[in-house]
Structure 1
């Protein structure tokens, strides 16, 4: 098995996860949310893909809050201060499963480990 890795700020990662949970709770696909934000259809998918450099900006948070009909942008930001600045996420790509249980040609990312990056 070949593992992949990416380095990302812990805050960016936590915001991406929070948006994903809220998006799924609203039963919106990545494409649906991208369209509600008036951005390219693949934008949210790129942000949620660990191997892509795309991240949400402050502007995007406002667009997301409106699209998900939240009361405040603050609902997208984790409480408190993150314990780490940057983290390394080790993951592998595994095939998604079709409704019949067979493997799809599409992949999802399975996180193996998240480790803080410490400066030496």
Structure 2
């Protein structure tokens, strides 16, 4: 099993996870959210992929809030200030599972561990 590692701001990581959670709750795909934000179709997918350097900016948060019809930008932020500044995420890539139970050729990332730096 090949592992990968990235260093990322804990705040960025928490915002990305919050956006993903809200997006999925509202039934909005990565591609659809990207289009609602008037950005490239792959933008949100790149932000949510651990191996990509793309992250959300303050401008993006406003676009996301409008696209998901949120009442406030605060819905995208963590409830408290993260204890850590930078974290290291160790992950692997594994095949996605198709509806019939077979392995897909597409890969998904599985987090193995998260370290405080």
TM-score by length of 2: 0.99
Query: What is the CA-CA distance between 1:11 and the residue it aligns to?
Result: 0.1
What's the Cα RMSD here?
0.5
Query: What is the CA-CA distance between 1:79 and the residue it aligns to?
Result: 1.4
Q: Work out the CA distance in 2 between the residues paired with 1:99 and 1:11.
A: 34
Q: Work out the CA distance in 2 between the residues paired with 1:74 and 1:22.
A: 12
Q: How many residues get paired?
A: 117
2:21 — aligned with what? 21
Q: Work out the CA distance in 1 between the residues paired with 2:84 and 2:101.
A: 38
Q: What runs of 5+ residues in structure 2 fail to find an aligned partner?
A: none
2:91 — aligned with what? 91
Q: What runs of 5+ residues in structure 1 fail to find an aligned partner?
A: none
Superposed, 1:1-120 pairs within 5 Å as: 1-117=1-117
TM-score by length of 1: 0.96
1:50-73 deviation line (CA, Å, top 9, x unaligned): 000000000000000000000001
Q: Which runs of 4+ in 1 moved over 4 A?
A: none
